[in-house]
Structure 1
C-alpha cells in the first residue's frame, strides 16, 4: 500500500488591511516576536506592525537581500538575544525562506507576511539557501509548514504588476507538472504520493488562472481590489504552494533551470516568468494536443508571460548554448518524473519547438 501525505500552512488569512489585526492571529504563540524585513519594508510597515502588536515584545531586524548562511546566522543571533518565540518574515520569497530557516534553528514558530505574490514560497515547508553570487547552496525541507501566512491585499496592490504576473507563471506550472506526477505515481515533495485533494487544488488553480488571470492583471495595473485580483492572489500564494508540494514536479521548472546554466548570459526574467516558458516546453515534450498548447500560449500572451527565447532575453542562441542548456536540463532530478525516458533529443527538440510555436503566436498565428 502506498503512503499519501498532504501538507499545508496551519492557518491562511487573506484580506484588506489584515496586518492591522496581526496580534489577534499570533498572540497565542508567545510574548516575544522577531520581524525580518528589508530596509524598504521596514520603512513602510514597521510602525504599522508595532502598533498592531501593542502589548507584545517586537524586535525588528533588517534583511540585507540574500538568504545566505551568513545572513541566517546574523539573524539567529538576534532572535536568540531577544528570546523570540515566533519569527515573522515580511517580504518576498527570500525573506520567507530566511524566516523559515531562522525559526527552525531557534525552535520558534514561523509567520509569513508576503508583500508580493510572485511565487509560492510563503506557504511551502522548504527554503533555498543561496551563495553570495546567487547560486543555490542548500535546499532545506522542514518537518512543518508555516504556522500562519497572512496576506494583506492592501499591501499587495502596491507591488509591481510584473511580479504579480510572474506569480501567475509559477502557478501555471502547478497543475501541468503535478498531473504527470499523480497519474504516474511519482513522489511529491514530501517523499510520498499525492492525494486527490492536492490534485483538485492544482486543477482549480489552473482553471482560476484561465478564468480570472487577465482581468486580475487589469485590476493590479489600476492598483485596486476586485474579486478577480483576490482570486489570483489566492492562486499565486496558497493554491500554487499547496499544489507543487503536494503533487510533485515534473519538467515544468527544468527547462528554465537549463537556461540558468548559460553563465555568460545575464538573467532578465523573474522565476515565474522563466517557469511559464519552461511549462510550454514540458507540454511540447510530452506531446500535448494543439488545444492544450493553444490555451496555455494564449494565456501567456494575454497576461504578458514569456513564450519565446527573445521574451527571455536569450536572443540568437548558438548551438553550443543549446547544448549547454539541454545537458543542464538532463541533470535536473524532476526531469525523470515522466512516464518515458527523457533523452537529449527530446529536450533539445522541446526547446526549439516551444520557441517556434511562441514566435508563431506572437505573429498572430495559432495551432487551432
Structure 2
C-alpha cells in the first residue's frame, strides 16, 4: 500500500514587524531561550528579540554562529545550550545557522524557533539539516524527526538584506516543481519516507507560478529595500511553498547536481540557490524536458539574475576531469539523483552539465 505523507512547520508567522511578536509566540516553550545567529543577523535583530522576549518573561542567552553547519559546530552549540539550561533553541539568520539550530534542537530534544533574516533558501521550514565538512563540502543530509515548531518571518528585515539573497532563494525555489514532478513520475519516496500528496504537488507548482509572476517585481522592490506585495509573495514562495513542496514531494537531480558542484572549490563563493538554479537547468536537460520549458527557465533566470552557465557559478575552466568529479559525486549511493524516473549514470550527468552550460551560453549570447 502506498502511504502518502505531508509534513510542515507547526506555525508560520510572516509580515513586516513580525519579529516584535516573537515573545508572544514562544512563551509556551519555556523560560530560557538559547539564540544563535551570525554576527550580522544578531546585530540587526538582537535588540528587538531581547525586548520581545523580556516582555513575556523569557530569558535569553546569545551565541554567535561560526559560519559552517558541520558536526564540530553543532556539538559546540549543543554544549553551550546545555550549559545555559535552554528550554528551546532560536536560530537567526540564513540557511546554515538555521540548519545548525535545527540539528542542535533535535539532539537536545527541545523545540526550535526559526527567525530568517534572508529568504535565500527553503531551509527554515524543513525537517532536514544539510551537514557540510569544516571545509564547506557537502557531507550528508540529517533527517530530523519533525519540522520547526515556529517560524517568524519578518519581511521588513528580509527586504533590507542584499537583493542577491532573495534572488538566490528564487533559485532554490525554482527547482521545487521540477523535482517534485520527477519524483511523482518515478514514485520516489519523499523526505519523510512516504509518497507525495496532491496537496504537496500543487504547492510545488504554485511555488513555480509565483516565481514567474512576481519574481522580477520583487527583485526590483528589494533593490530599494522595501517589502511590496510582490516581495511578500516571493518570500512565502522561497520559504513556505518551496519548503513544503520539496520536503513532501521529494528532491531529485537539481539538488544532487548542486551537491556535486560543492566538490569544486571555485563554486564555494556562489550561494546555494545560485548553484541549484544551474542544477535545475541541467535537470531539465537530463530529463529531456520540452524546449519551451527550458526557455521559460532561461528567461526567468536571466530576468532576475540567476546563473545559467558554469562560469557564472565560478567554474571558468570546466575541464572534463572536474565535471566528471562532479558527476561521480552526484551519482553516489543515496544521492537524490536516483529519484529521477530513469536510472542515472555519471556519464549522463556529465553530459547534462555540459549541455546545460552550452544552452546557457547560447542564450546569453543572443541577448
Fold in common (TM above 0.5): yes
Post-superposition offset of 1:11: 0.2
Question: Could you say which residue in structure 2 is the equivalent of 1:66?
Answer: 68
Deviations along 1:280-312, one digit per CA (max 9) or x if unpaired, are: 111111111111111111001111111111212
2:74, 2:100 within 8 Å by CA — same for their partners in 1? yes
Q: Which range moves more in the overlay, 316-325 or 219-228? A: 316-325
1:328 is matched with 329
Residue 51 (structure 2) aligns with:
51
The correspondence of residues 305-344 of structure 1 with structure 2, limited to 5 A, is 305-331=306-332, 333-344=335-346
Instruction: Write the distance in 1 (CA, Å) between the matches of 2:296 and 2:194.
Output: 31
1:311-339 CA-to-partner distances (Å, cap 9, x unmatched) read 12212322222332332322262222222
Number of residues of Structure 1 aligned to a counterpart in Structure 2: 364
Residue-by-residue CA offset, 1:138-171 (whole Å, 9 max, x unaligned): 4321111100011001110121111110000000
Aligned match of 2:145: 143
In structure 1, the gaps of 5 or more residues are none
Which stretch shifts more, 103-112 or 195-204?
Answer: 103-112
Given that residues 254 and 279 in structure 2 are in contact (C-alpha distance below 8 angstroms), is that contact kept between their aligned partners in structure 1? Answer: yes
Q: Judging by fraction of residues, say which structure has more helix.
A: 2
- Alignment correspondent of 2:209: 207
Q: 1:17 to 1:283 in 2, by over 3 A?
A: same
Structural mapping, 1:148-159, within 5 Å: 148-159=150-161
What is the CA-CA distance between 1:137 and the residue it aligns to? 4.1
Task: Give yes or no for the alignment of 1:232 onto 2:230.
Answer: no
State how far apart, in whole Å, the 1-side matches of 2:171 and 2:338 are. Answer: 22
Q: Secondary structure at the match of 2:342?
A: coil
Aligned to 1:106: 108
Distance 1:312 1:20, change over 3 A: same
Q: Secondary structure at the match of 1:53?
A: helix
> Partner residue of 2:26?
26
Deviates more, 1:176-185 or 1:125-134: 125-134
Q: Which moved more, 1:31-40 or 1:226-235?
A: 31-40
**1:60 aligns to what SS in structure 2?**
strand
TM-score when scaled to structure 1? 0.94
* Secondary structure of residue in 2 paired with 1:157: helix
Distance 1:206 1:62 in 2: 35
Is the partner of 2:340 in helix, strand or coil? coil
Q: Secondary structure at the match of 2:2?
A: coil
**1:115 & 1:195 partners in 2: Cα distance?**
30
When normalised by structure 2's length, the TM-score is: 0.95
Q: Which residue of 2 aligns with 1:97?
A: 99
Distance 2:26 2:268 in 1: 39
What SS does the aligned partner of 1:118 have?
A: coil
**Aligned 1:1-368 pairs, distance under 5 A:** 1-54=1-54, 55-263=57-265, 265=266, 267-331=268-332, 333-364=335-366
Q: CA deviation at 1:108?
A: 1.3
Name the CA shift for 1:136/1:281 in 2 (closer, same or farther; >3 Å).
Answer: closer
Q: Deviations over 1:108-144 (max 9, x none)?
A: 1100000111101111111123332122444321111
Change (3 A) 1:50 1:316: closer
